[in-house]
Structure 1
């Protein structure tokens, strides 16, 4: 057995191991860096969190009203993921969401901590009860609003928040396309 080849193989493996360890250690230091948000930025995180709940709850309610339209059912599942993504950010930055009940039980659908979100939910349901077409237009309006709000909310935020908001925005763009297609079918 050629010991120089074995030694080179061993050194190569150890070098790769050291590189992986160093890279992991560097990445860990980078990701554990504490960033402090201003109170305004924390309020923005909570607002986005609640806005995602509005979307989900409106789609649940309108989906029950118009069970023949599958767009509401499929998008409400995605909105649940959006809520969870926003909740992770809130937890990471010390924004209390404990008073927000995310239960899917009827008693908690459409219940909001922020007055403006309660009003938004109520208005969306009122408009959506007019007809299926109006309900789909409500969905379109929610997604357009979400996209605009996410773009504004990302300004000045740390990169992890910006990345999450970008992912949420991409989801909202997909939802918008789904509502546009459903509106075209219904018109």
Structure 2
């Protein structure tokens, strides 16, 4: 019996050695694509410039873009909890600073903010439904989650481009321009992560030529 026990122990040791897990590969480094915005610096920079009066379209755009930045932050938080993909954590933290920069404009023009502190809660009905849809899609697989991240950045880029055509105010344009750079960088980040995992991605909103130009170019930096 003792010899049998010794053999059994030896077999278990060998099996254990054969099942030694290999370390997980390091997550892709996307640090060059992270684009936080210092809202404190932004507020100080814009402070001396008279705010003036907004048009109704400008006010609505500011409120919408503020909630859209919250949408990105909230979706990334939900998908990070689901999949533990570090890109969602890092980009989500940058999105918080983008939300803060829009709040600078809201405060500067003394607009009543519609932002809720609760995740997934939006005053804009379109954004509320979009949040539910994107989280549901991103929860089906980690691959689909990364595609959802890229889609959000595409949507941000298009909406910012349209908002920029409805204002000539340099302070608003500065903030929108910084946010657009951030969205292009975050799109590059998600595509980079997908590429390293062998996942193909086709743009869902942007024209193919504009998408290719973004992906082929280097990371951008904003003013604030």
125, 128, 132: which one aligns with 1:118: 128
Q: Where do 1:1-187 residues align within 5 Å?
A: 31-67=48-84, 69-97=85-113, 99-102=114-117, 108-155=118-165, 156-186=167-197, 187=199
Shift of 1:47: 0.3
Question: Over aligned residues, Cα RMSD in angstroms?
Answer: 1.6
Shift of 1:173: 1.0
Unaligned 5+ residue runs, structure 1? Answer: 1-27, 103-107
Shift of 1:143: 0.2
Moved over 3 A (4+): none
Shift of 1:157: 3.5
Q: What is the TM-score when the length of structure 2 is the normalising length?
A: 0.65
Unaligned 5+ residue runs, structure 2? Answer: 1-44, 200-224
Question: Cα deviations across residues 101-128 of structure 1 (Å, max 9, x unaligned)?
Answer: 23xxxxx111111111101101101110
Name the CA distance, whole Å, in 2 between partners of 1:128 and 1:90.
Answer: 30
Shift of 1:133: 0.7
Q: What is the TM-score when the length of structure 1 is the normalising length?
A: 0.77
Secondary structure at the aligned position of 1:122 is classed as helix
Give the count of matched residue pairs: 152
Name the CA distance, whole Å, in 1 between partners of 2:120 and 2:152.
Answer: 15
Secondary structure at the aligned position of 1:127 is classed as helix
Shift of 1:31: 3.5
8 Å contact kept, 1:41–1:157? no
Whose helix fraction is larger, Structure 1's or Structure 2's? Answer: 1
